[in-house]
Structure 1
Amino acid sequence: MRWAEPVLAVRDLRRSLEFYERVLGLEVVRDFGSHAALTGGLALQSLESWAELLDKTPEDLWPGGFGGEVYYEAENFDDFLTELSRHPETELVHPVREHRWGQRVARLYDPDRHIIEVGESMAQVARRFFDSGLNTEGVARRMEIPLEMVRTLLKQE
């Protein structure tokens, strides 16, 4: 068995695809009409087709209980924030924040109110702290990770 892809059920597939393309910069790699796969491994399925697969009605399934989120890491978090600012209609779950370990994140809603998290890569976090004057030991303490992981992350940048 192998992992395939997570699938989110959406009320309006075309509207959702447009959101993921415009706001997150993803591209459609497969479009089957009621199901589409995007770059990065996420797939979207129309609520109607999902309900049909489950022998349910859309009303049986919506509103869903969303106890999770879809998580992405931006190659350049500051560039992502600049792009996000060009879409003021996009509703944020909360303002951009920095977690205790130093990673900056933005959480936003897609058109169906699925939570999308976009975070700064951990390699970028390590580089940001290192470039601010912390040595590798200081970065490890600040990020609450082992020293060897800091060394690995700094090589990735």
Structure 2
Amino acid sequence: MIMKLKNVLIVVNDIEKARQFYYDLFGLEMILDNDGNMVLTEGLVLQEEKYWKEFIDKEIIPENNSCELYFEEEDIEAFIEKLEEYYPDVKYVNKLMTHSWGQKVIRFYDPDGNLIEVGIPT
């Protein structure tokens, strides 16, 4: 029997600000708001940092670069325009680049230092 991956959880400082960010850029909508724990469409869960720290009793390390959220977008140039219009202070890891296999991608951090990659479908 194979277990099903249900959700991916990321830690955020301001859950409402994070919800708006993921809605503005990716169209993710809230499914459930459970007091500091918010489930969005596509299986993304936002967890407020103060609660996460209580659960794990460790410091949170933003921009730790150990994982990323990956999204695909056909019109990546239009996505970049939207990103820079809505979030002009976005911190890039790499601006638009093309991998050796031809895929165009960008990488940047969300407002809480979670790494995001957006690439054209391969």
Moved over 3 A (4+): none
Higher helix residue share: 1
Query: Which residue is equivalent to 1:73?
Result: 72
36-45 vs 21-30, greater mean Cα deviation: 21-30
Query: Which residue is equivalent to 2:89?
Result: 89
5 Å-filtered alignment, 1:1-157, equals 1-54=3-56, 56=57, 60-63=58-61, 65-87=64-86, 88-122=88-122
- Tell me the TM-score normalised to structure 2 length: 0.84
- Cα distance between partner residues in 1 of 2:84 and 2:4: 37
- Cα distance between partner residues in 2 of 1:44 and 1:9: 6
Per chain length, whose mean CA-contact separation is higher, i.e. which structure has more relative contact order (CA < 8 Å, sep 6+)? 2
Query: Which residue is equivalent to 1:147?
Result: none
95-104 vs 78-87, greater mean Cα deviation: 78-87
- Tell me the TM-score normalised to structure 1 length: 0.67
64-73 vs 90-99, greater mean Cα deviation: 64-73
73-82 vs 44-53, greater mean Cα deviation: 73-82
- RMSD of the TM alignment (CA)? 1.7
Higher strand residue share: 2
Q: Tell me the percent identity.
A: 33
- SS for the counterpart of 2:106 is strand
8 Å CA contact 2:53–2:60 kept in 1: the answer is no
Q: Residues 74 and 8 (structure 1 numbering): CA distance in 2 closer, same or farther, change over 3 Å?
A: same
Shift of 1:75: 4.2
The count of corresponding residues between Structure 1 and Structure 2 is: 118
Shift of 1:104: 0.6
- Cα distance between partner residues in 2 of 1:74 and 1:30: 26
